[in-house]
Amino acid sequence: MTVVEQLAEFAVAQRATPLAGNVRHAAVRAVVDWVSATVPGAATPAARALTEALAPGPGPARLIPSGQATDVRTAALLNGTAAHAAELDDIYRDAFYHPGAPTIAAAFAVADQLDCSGEDFLRAVTIGYETGARIALAAGPEHYRHWHTTGTVGTFGAAAAAAELLRLDADRFAGALALAATMAAGLQQTFRSPSTGKPLHAGHAAEAGVVAALAAGKGLAGALDVLEGPAGFGVATAGISGFSVSGLGDPFCVTATTVKYHACCGHTFAAIDAALRLRAEGMRPEEITGIEIETYETATRVAGRTDPAGPDEARFSLAYTVAAALVLGAVRLHAFAPEALHDPVIRTLMARTTTRVDPELDRLAPGRRAARVRVTDRHGTVRDRLRLTRKGDPDDPLSDDELREKFDELVPAFLGRPRAGSIAGTLWRLPALKRMSDLDWGPGPPLSPAGRGCCAGGPA
């Protein structure tokens, strides 16, 4: 049995068993969090540019959160892009992977087309997370050296979610995953250089996954050994000749995701958490004369910018995000507005910041994403704080109430409190929903209070 056949057999076999309560609840949380990321993301310049370029037209699927009708492929592409655009989407920590953005975008598009039940939708989300995360784990850190896992492996998660909603049999389900492999894409250079193209990785993955599942359902066949074959995904993208997956459903990966607590690259989070602790203990930004950040190698490589020119670069800067945390007390959307990006106190602290790899912390990654922040003040006093995990990680999770607070901070500012409250209420009741069309997004485009995208000064 090939790897895609193994994954397909597992997925199809799960249909005989109701979702366990904890798995269902985790899937609901994932969807609530995805909407929290997608609504502000839809207002970013990147998402708006793509929407204008494609000029979506009539169809059975809907854009989120405007509710505009469009075709299934365009819905997956635009919603997936929006979900990743504000850097608020979830993480599968052990695999350098954002599962929700592509997987849930694909699931929403196909669920709209089929008008399935909320339970079927949540099952598809669960299967999509499981498939993508297990492949991402197998691909490992070597894959992430050059490839953006969310763009590559996200295609498998999206294909699995779509295939599950289409109720493909095991053969065609495997075919969908095989086709997804040859459409997987996403290069890290996109976010190591000045660019606004990174969110497109998630959108493309969602769209390609939907196309793979729809095509497989009509009989288009993929190469079933595409993951482990001598010229397959494993060898080509990670140098792995014996590509294999394990641990399916033990536990389901949707129950072990990280919910983002900050609106930036996850590699900065442990350092931000440490900086916020120092601030809470009385460290005043104007008295700081030096900041040292010690963390794991991938964090310094991906988020090592020292002089970011705009919001997209600032989200990938340890120096900027730690300085913003010390000055602002939070690193949410307002931290990437123009007034914050040009704040003289933040800029001064950035210039006083050094970053290095700590070998001990590097050995903990990716299972733990740790960082130490050491601050010296003008009196010569040195204080430091170590974070061995991040707020929102599986070993320090956000509660349901904290997840609601995240939604309530982000979504009403764009949609208004009554509309946001109605959407939230329906999302938390997804298991009881008879038809996905009962989830009413309501009219109107997503706009910030000032009529600007969040990267240009939207809500905090």
Residue 4 neighbours by CB under 8 Å, 6+ apart: 174, 175, 177, 178, 181, 222, 224, 226, 227
pLDDT tens-digit readout, 394-416: 999 999 999 999 999 999 999 99
Judged against a pLDDT cut of 70, whether residue 49 lies above it is answered with yes
CATH architecture of 266-387: 2-Layer Sandwich (3.30)
- Using DSSP's 3-state secondary structure scheme, residue 187 falls into strand
Q: pTM of the predicted model, to two decimals?
A: 0.92
Q: Alpha-carbon distance 55 to 244, whole Å?
A: 41
* Closest C-alpha among 41, 164, 157, 10 to residue 97: 157
pLDDT at 57: 85
* Closest C-alpha among 82, 70, 78 to residue 53: 78
DSSP conformation class of 18 = P
Residue 387 amino acid letter: R
pLDDT tens-digit readout, 114-153: 999 999 999 999 999 999 999 999 999 999 999 999 999 9
- Cβ pair 11, 63 in contact under 8 A: no
Residues β-bridged to residue 386: 372
Q: Alpha-carbon distance 333 to 322, whole Å?
A: 15
Concatenate the DSSP letters of all residues of 69-91 into one string. Answer: EE-HHHHHHHHHHHHHHTS---B
> Mean pLDDT over residues 160-176, rounded?
98
Two tokens, residue 96? 């350098």
Judged against a pLDDT cut of 70, whether residue 457 lies above it is answered with no
Q: Alpha-carbon distance 66 to 441, whole Å?
A: 6
Strands 288-295 and 353-357: parallel
pLDDT at 453: 37
pLDDT at 459: 27
> Mean pLDDT over residues 443-457, rounded?
42
Number of neighbouring beta carbons within 10 Å of residue 376? 17
Instruction: Supply the mean pLDDT for the chain.
Output: 94
- The residue ranking higher by pLDDT, 49 or 455, is 49
Judged against a pLDDT cut of 50, whether residue 458 lies above it is answered with no
Which pLDDT band, with edges at 50, 70 and 90, does 56 fall under? confident
Q: At what angle do helices 72-85 and 149-165 cross, to 10 degrees?
A: 140
Q: Alpha-carbon distance 332 to 121, whole Å?
A: 30
- Cβ pair 109, 75 in contact under 8 A: yes
- Parse the chain into domains and list their residue ranges: 3-256, 266-387
Q: Alpha-carbon distance 112 to 287, whole Å?
A: 54
Q: Alpha-carbon distance 267 to 366, whole Å?
A: 10
> Mean pLDDT over residues 63-79, rounded?
96
pLDDT tens-digit readout, 331-373: 999 999 999 999 999 999 999 999 999 999 999 999 999 999 9
Query: Burial level of 236, CB count in 10 A (0-12/13-18/19+)?
Result: middle
Judged against a pLDDT cut of 70, whether residue 450 lies above it is answered with no
Q: Count how many Cα atoms sit within 13 Å of the Cα of residue 158 in the half-sphere of its side chain.
A: 40
Number of neighbouring beta carbons within 10 Å of residue 221? 13
pLDDT tens-digit readout, 12-45: 999 999 999 999 999 999 999 999 999 999 999 9
Which pLDDT band, with edges at 50, 70 and 90, does 444 fall under? low
Judged against a pLDDT cut of 90, whether residue 455 lies above it is answered with no
CATH top class, domain 3-256 = mainly alpha
Q: Alpha-carbon distance 247 to 236, whole Å?
A: 24
Judged against a pLDDT cut of 90, whether residue 306 lies above it is answered with yes
Q: Alpha-carbon distance 180 to 158, whole Å?
A: 9
- Using DSSP's 3-state secondary structure scheme, residue 245 falls into coil
Q: Alpha-carbon distance 198 to 46, whole Å?
A: 9
Contacts 24+ apart (CB under 8 A), 48-55: 48/453, 49/196, 50/77, 50/78, 50/81, 50/200, 50/203, 51/78, 54/78
Domains 3-256 and 266-387 share a fold: no
- Cβ pair 369, 266 in contact under 8 A: yes
The CA–CA distances, whole Å, from 7 to 92, 240, 282, 373 equal: 18, 18, 51, 42
Query: Burial level of 356, CB count in 10 A (0-12/13-18/19+)?
Result: exposed
Q: Alpha-carbon distance 285 to 344, whole Å?
A: 11
